[in-house]
Amino acid sequence: MTADYVIVGAGSAGCALAYRLTEAGHSVALIEYGGSDIGIFIQMPGALSYPMNMPRYDWGFFSQPEPHLGGRRLATPRGKVLGGSSSINGMVFVRGHRKDYDHWRDSGAAGWGYADVLPYFKRMETWHGGASEWRGTAGPLHVTRGKRRNPLFNAFIEAGQQAGWPYTPDYNGENQEGFGPMEATIWKGRRWSAANAYLRPAQKTGRLRVIQAFARRILFQGRRAYGVEIERKGRVEEIRAGREIIVSASSINTPKLLMLSGIGPADHLRQHGIAPLTDRPGVGANLQDHLEIYMQYKALKPITLYTYYNLLGKGRVGVEWLLQKTGLGASNQFESCGFIRSSDAADYPDIQYHFLPLAVRYDGKAAAQGHGFQAHVGPMRSKSRGTVRLASGDPAAPPEIRFNYMSHPDDWAEFRACVRLTRQIFDQSAFTEYRGAEIQPGASVQTDDQIDAFIRDHAESAYHPCGTARMGAATDPMAVVDPDLKVIGVEGLRVADSSVFPRITNGNLNGPSIMVGEKAADHILGRIARPDQDRMAAE
């Protein structure tokens, strides 16, 4: 079949892109290997620990042994389902800091400063937090706040202020820095993924065809991309694009697909029997992520989610959600947060907090029996860089992922600050009536060496990989796409997903990834929004 545009990947950016292109009257073929996102484990926010651990919904990637983390292989979940990772993530919505995008602009991504991207953040959302010149009110993506009925949520916000940081009423608005309520892509008790927000409206236009298939490579005539080779039901087929192909397959699968198609480091491609079409050493380079640790405490009062952390309790939560879309199942339980600086040397926040009224891991395993609470904490702008490389010329083979976590000495200093600053916050009087013994790292972990050992053994990915096809000036030898998201060195091919981030943003990446899809559509359609210069005076 032929469509005006062929998009590879029905994830955060791909769904947004498909919606805007069909809205403009174009036909779109959207290739997605994963299946339906309809099911309680995806749609119920409180069940978030399940889909990212289910092979049905997750690609199941792991990093190569990480030399600075004791040789551990870290899980790297990526959504293999309609909605992509927005269907299996924690639903936290963070735009990032304005200086993140000004850094993009200043590093060669002209037209991607904060004034340039703010109109797209506003266009994409319907914010339910009241009137604000910083927020959108008519977009497909509903952004809401939890009710913070558990007193621990507000205790965390109050403790942050007692420790000397400001209160921020809207970290996605004028000022990110400080402690305040956390926002989520949840609407009427359901996960409001990119599939719910964008894909289903796009399907209603009649101009979108979703093709469940495995993308093997991009097809070229000379240097112009004309189609995608797919495999479905054991057959190899071609899907042709009348205008362009856009790869939105994730920061892991996008560089893999580019390399399988002859775009990447020439010597590496030749090693796997692939003839280089264009030598782009930046493909698969510049891999970044957020690491985090869980600072956990026992609770003196039986008010945490541990009350429901049993078969009967989970059943009660599930039944209420199924019947009414209310209760604990209607929240991701990340309802308060913080963004602070690790030291006076940081010119804007470089530490993020997610607070949770339960001591538990992302895989659903409790760290300690009994009532407890925790803060997920980690540095935002690690200087460590990794790679995604082909393990084989076989498209079915998973790629080799090397994050090279903690390879820069500054990362260790920032993580030590995370531990010590978090202790200061939980030592405040707001937590006096709730705070029991420190579960982990534990009160005995005090020296730099002891903290480093804990980090080495317990740091986990926050699941924010990005940067592997970074945007930059067309003359930059390490850039993969130009500021129009066109792949440098070929024609008719763009990339639109978190791969293009020059540097990781402050916070969770779902919001910025959707923004890239929104803005990519306007680059393709030739209708770039006017920069919002009026909002630039603050902070």
HEC profile of 76-131: ECCECECCHHHHCCCCECCCCCHHHHHHHHHCCCCCCCHHHHHHHHHHHEEECCCC
Q: What is the mean pLDDT of residues 314-325?
A: 95
As a whole number of angstroms, the distance between CA 135 and CA 122 comes to: 5
The answer to whether 317 is annotated as binding is no
DSSP label of 227: E
Domains, the chain: 1-143+186-288+388-403+480-539 (3.50.50.60), 147-181+291-379+407-458 (3.30.410.40)
As a whole number of angstroms, the distance between CA 100 and CA 364 comes to: 32
What is the structure's pLDDT at 291? 98
Distance of CA 180 to the CA centre of its chain: 21
What is the structure's pLDDT at 368? 63
As a whole number of angstroms, the distance between CA 335 and CA 326 comes to: 15
Identify any residues that bridge with 336 across adjacent strands, giving them in sequence order: 181
Distances (CA, A) of 536 to 114, 173, 430: 8, 11, 35
Q: Is 464 a catalytic residue?
A: yes
The mean of the pLDDT values for the chain is 96
The answer to whether 89 is annotated as binding is yes
pTM of the model: 0.97
Residue with tokens 């009110």: 137
Identify any residues that bridge with 225 across adjacent strands, giving them in sequence order: 220
Percent of all residues in the chain with a pLDDT value above 70, rounded to a whole number: 98
As a whole number of angstroms, the distance between CA 536 and CA 538 comes to: 6
As a whole number of angstroms, the distance between CA 222 and CA 505 comes to: 36
Helix, strand counts (H, E) of the chain: 13, 25
What is the structure's pLDDT at 54? 95
The answer to whether 196 is annotated as binding is no
Confidence of residue 539 (pLDDT cuts 50, 70, 90): very low
Catalytic option among 68, 268, 290, 464: 464
**Single-letter code of the amino acid located at 200:** R
Q: Is-contact 335 353, C-beta < 8 A?
A: no
Percent of all residues in the chain with a pLDDT value above 90, rounded to a whole number: 95
Q: What is the mean pLDDT of residues 213-229?
A: 98
Give pLDDT tens digits for 364-383. Answer: 666 567 999 999 999 999 99
Residue 328: helix, strand or coil by DSSP? Answer: helix
Q: What is the mean pLDDT of residues 294-309?
A: 95
**Cis-peptide, bond into residue 201, ω within 30° of zero:** no
The answer to whether 81 is annotated as binding is yes
Residue 362: pLDDT over 80: no
Residue 433 has which token pair?
A: 């009536």
Confidence of residue 529 (pLDDT cuts 50, 70, 90): confident
HEC profile of 382-393: CCCCEEEECCCC
What is the structure's pLDDT at 309? 86
Contacts from 167-174 at CB under 8 Å and sequence distance 24+?
168/339, 170/129, 170/132, 170/134, 170/135, 171/94, 171/337, 171/339, 172/93, 172/94, 172/95, 172/121, 172/134, 172/135, 172/143, 172/511, 173/132, 173/134, 173/135, 174/134, 174/535, 174/538, 174/539
Q: Which of 282-291, 330-339, 362-371 has the lowest mean pLDDT?
A: 362-371
Residue 321 has which token pair?
A: 């959600």
